[in-house]
């Protein structure tokens, strides 16, 4: 997996997929594999850990709400405050917030200007 300023190269068995980082909605872990869910293409599954992906995308507007997910904050529509909490993405997908990651999510929220009603 290679990265440039705005693009990422994902290597699968048959292709090198050149994707724009802004088009990543979220990544989902499956042990040593990570699936990239995109705005403009079908999901892409690569043989790399989500931890490695997180390190590559560090400081690029991604947040890790759960050990199995890495989410592009530009695609978060809302955060449900029920039980443990869930991220609701603009696609309608919901992702649980783990207890361990809740403080990170709250820190993320504190850095966004908001209006309370």
13-67: per-residue pLDDT in tens? 999 999 999 999 999 999 899 999 999 999 999 999 999 999 988 766 899 999 9
Q: Please report the sign of the dihedral spanned by the C-alpha atoms of residue 109, residue 110, residue 112, residue 115.
A: positive
Q: Which CATH class is domain 2-110?
A: mainly beta
What is the domain partition of the chain in residue ranges?
2-110
pTM of the complete model: 0.87
Closest CA to 17 of 2, 33, 28, 32: 2
Mean model confidence pLDDT for the chain: 87
| 70 vs 85: which has the higher pLDDT | 70
Whether residue 117 is predicted with pLDDT greater than 80 in this model: the reply is: no
């Amino acid at each position: 997996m290679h990265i440039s300023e705005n693009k990422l190269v994902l290597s699968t068995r048959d292709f090198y997929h050149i994707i724009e980082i802004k088009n990543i909605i979220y990544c989902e872990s499956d042990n040593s594999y990570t699936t990239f869910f995109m705005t403009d293409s079908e999901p892409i599954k690569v043989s790399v850990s989500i931890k490695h992906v997180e390190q590559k995308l560090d400081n690029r507007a991604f947040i890790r709400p759960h050990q199995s997910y890495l989410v592009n904050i530009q695609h978060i529509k809302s955060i449900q405050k029920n039980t443990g909490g869930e991220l609701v993405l603009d696609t309608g997908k919901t992702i649980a917030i783990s207890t361990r990651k809740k403080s990170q999510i709250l820190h993320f929220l504190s850095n966004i200007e908001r209006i309370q009603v």
